[in-house]
Amino acid sequence: MAAGAALGGRLLTTSTVMAAPGRTAAVAKSSAAATHPVKQVHLAGTDGWVGMPGDAPPDPPFFPDPLAPSPFNTYVFGFRDVTGMTSNLVAAQRGKAQISAPMMAFDEEDDIYLTLTNLGLAQRPDLFDGHTLHWHGFVNAIPLFDGVPELSLAVPIGRDLTYFYRPHDAGTYMYHCHFEDVEHVQMGMTGMVFVRPAQNRTPLHPGERYAYNDGDGSTAYDREFAFMITELWSAAHYRDAHIQVNDWTDYDPSFWLLNGRAYPDTTAPNGDPLSTAAGRLQYQPISSLIRCNAGDRVLLRMSNLGYQNHVMTVDNIDLTVVAKDAALLKGRDGTTNYLTSNAVEVGPGESRDAIFVAPGPGEYLLYDRKYSYLDNGGGAGYGGMMTKIVVGAPGTYPAQTAANA
């Protein structure tokens, strides 16, 4: 399980990923590759349509967007996992963006070749926006692969660029497009990336997995769930679809999202963006439903690429924050400074890793303590940035095969 896995939009498991053609380079380039396994991922940047909860009140003309094809209602930009696809199939993904972007996971010291193809925008063929990958929080980045077009490169429509990363530090990171980032990030080009620690190769106990190289097993976990925290401002999405311009300092979100979905969609199962079976959530494939057995150690990875601070809380369960911004809370002299709390604040651009031990069977809510973020478009009832922790009796759920499974 410790092997690196690129969790695509289809939330591929480790074994599936490793078996997929093109995922893993067949030929090692040199002897150095023995310590740097080669991982290849192919992402495409484009636009598309997604569905916020349909019972949210209308906010004419912004929501639902009258241009949206049924069953969708909101225009987005996003990334798609096109690893292993033929060039014809890749081209066919134009106009089929997903939010959140594919979750990716790698091991420390992997050699990662990440190709980004810019498919252009189906709804806005007049725009010639570039796209980039910015691996947010990646220490030791060089500008060439940092994705800030003013300080490096951007990928024009119809072209691709292969980024190279060799992560040395385990933790929870994010990635997003940095081309006109205020717009492209809000429009949905945001995803999560984890780097798994070298300690997984030499576990303190057989089969154990860790969030960090903790040295003492204190970040061991049985299951992991990751949450991309964002907000969605319907007016901005409408204006992008309708050839209008935003004043971003008027920012005023309409929906508050976990992995691109608002409650109760957050609790729907994982989907496959290549399958229409998921209907309105087809292009929002990543579930936020937490399922675990009593006594499981559950790792929560939380990353915020919204523009607001969020305080995530859960009643009746204590959360122990072991890391902030992909850095274990441990001083230079080795002093551990984990923080046990029932409320975890995550600011824009920040991440948190928190571990809890699942209590007795039951259902628990994980939600943003700012109650005004717990509705959909200002409508009645609960919505927004909320999901469920479902705890079963020991043995209810088999071993987890992938994050958020």
Partner 1 sequence: MKRLTIQRALALTAAALLVATPVLVRTQASAAAEMSEGVLCDTDPNQTFSLTARDGYISTPDGNSIYMWSYSNSKRGFQLPGPTLCVESGRQVTVILHNSLPEATSIVFPGQQGVKANGNPAQPQFDSGGSLTSLVQTAAATDGSVTYTFTAGSPGSYLYETGTDVDKQLQMGLYGALVVRPAGHPNQVNDRADSAFANGKEYVYLLSEVDPDVHLAVERNQPVDVNASKSRYFMINGRSMPDTLAPNNAPWLPGQPYGALVHIKPYDAVTNPLPATIHYLNAGSVNYPFHPHGSDERVINRDGHALQGGSGEDLSYLKYDLDVGPGQTLDVLMDWRDVEHWNATTNPIPTQLPAITDQLLVGSDTWFSESGYLGTKNAVPSNLTQNNECGEYYHIAHSHALEQATNYGAAFGGMMTVFRIDPPAGCVSQ
Stretch that binds partner 1, among 86-94, 254-262, 291-299, 348-356 (CB under 8 A): 348-356
Q: Please tell me whether residue 110 binds partner 1 under the rule CB under 8 A.
A: no
- Nearest-5° Cα angle at 43, 33 to 187: 140
Give the bridge partners for 106, in sequence order.
195
Between strands 290-293 and 386-392, the pairing is parallel
**Site for partner 1, residues 239 to 268, rule: CB under 8 A:** 240, 245-251
To partner 1, the closest distance from the beta carbon of 190 in angstroms equals 11
Contact with partner 1 (CB under 8 A) among 129, 265, 353, 368: 129
CB of 358 to partner 1, least distance (A): 27
DSSP string across 285-314: -----EEEETT-EEEEEEEE-SSS-EEEEE
Minimum CB–partner distance for residue 102 and partner 1 (Å): 20
Residue whose token pair is 């939600």: 367
DSSP string, 21-49: TTTB-SS-SSGGGGTS-EEEEEEEEEEEE
Nearest one of 119, 109, 154 to 42, comparing CA atoms: 119
- Which range, of 41-49, 87-95, 215-223, 343-351, touches partner 1 by CB under 8 A? 343-351
Peptide bond into 53 cis (omega under 30): no
Q: Rounded distance, CA 120 to CA 113, Å?
A: 22
Query: By C-beta, is 248 or 371 nearer to partner 1?
Result: 248
CB neighbourhood size of 302 (10 A): 25
198 scored as a contact of partner 1 (CB under 8 A): no
Does 134 bind partner 1 (CB under 8 A)? Our answer is yes
- Shortest CB 127 distance to partner 1, Å: 6
DSSP 8-state class, residue 379: -
- Of the ranges 51-59, 139-147, 204-212, 391-399, which one interacts with partner 1 (CB under 8 A)? 139-147
Interacting residues with partner 1 between 140 and 169 (CB under 8 A): 140-146, 148-156, 159, 161-164, 166, 168
Q: Is 329 in the site for partner 1 (CB under 8 A)?
A: yes
Nearer residue to partner 1 within complex by CB, 229 or 391: 229
Task: Kindly state whether residue 208 participates in binding partner 1, applying the rule CB under 8 A.
Answer: no
Spatial CB neighbours of 293, under 8 Å, sequence gap ≥ 6? 222, 358, 391, 392, 393, 394, 395, 396, 397
Residues paired with 114 in a beta bridge: 41, 163
The answer to the question of residue 333 lying near partner 1 (CB under 8 A) is yes
- What angle (nearest 5°) sits at the alpha carbon of residue 117, between those of residues 113 and 122? 155
Considering the complex, state which of residue 155 and residue 281 has its C-beta at the smaller distance from partner 1. Answer: 155
Task: Return the residues of window 6-65 that contact partner 1 according to CB under 8 A.
Answer: 29
Q: What is the DSSP letter of 14?
A: H
Q: Which helix (H) or strand (E) holds 258?
A: strand 255-258
**Residue count, binding to partner 1 (CB under 8 A):** 69
Q: Could you tell me the smallest distance in angstroms from the CB atom of residue 393 to partner 1?
A: 38
For the window 80-109, what string marks contact with partner 1 as x by the rule CB under 8 A? Answer: ------------------------------
State the nearest-atom distance from the C-beta of 68 to partner 1, in Å: 19
Positions in the binding site for partner 1 (CB under 8 A): 29, 111, 113, 124, 127-130, 134, 136-146, 148-156, 159, 161-164, 166, 168, 179-183, 185-186, 240, 245-251, 305, 307-309, 324-327, 329, 331-333, 335, 337, 347-350
